[in-house]
Amino acid sequence: MSTTTYSVSGMTCAHCVASVTEEIGELRGVRSVVVDLPTGAVTIDSDDALDDAAVEAAVEEAGYRLVYT
């Protein structure tokens, strides 16, 4: 099992959270997605480590961006 946290920019409401959760949740091996709207943190529990590019594509499909620091 793997847990990874990403930062997502542009989310402002519950609909944003639902969109990001849905898109990431469709990735193979994802068990749960928890989004903290105030901070933009998205924590993903998955069977194995996720491909960052796949997560980024899912976030972009939802209409948002990953933030790299």
pLDDT digits (tens, 9 = 90+) for 17-58: 999 999 999 999 999 999 999 999 999 999 999 999 999 999
The whole-model pTM stands at 0.93
Residue 36's pLDDT is what?
A: 97
Q: Where are the alpha helices (DSSP H) in the chain?
A: 14-25, 52-62
CB 65 within 8 A of CB 6: no
Residue 68's pLDDT is what?
A: 82
pLDDT over 90 at 69, yes or no: no
- Please give the Cα distance from 20 to 61 (Å, whole number): 8
Residue 7's pLDDT is what?
A: 97
Residues with Cβ within 8 Å of residue 4, at least 6 apart in sequence: 43, 44, 46, 49, 50, 55
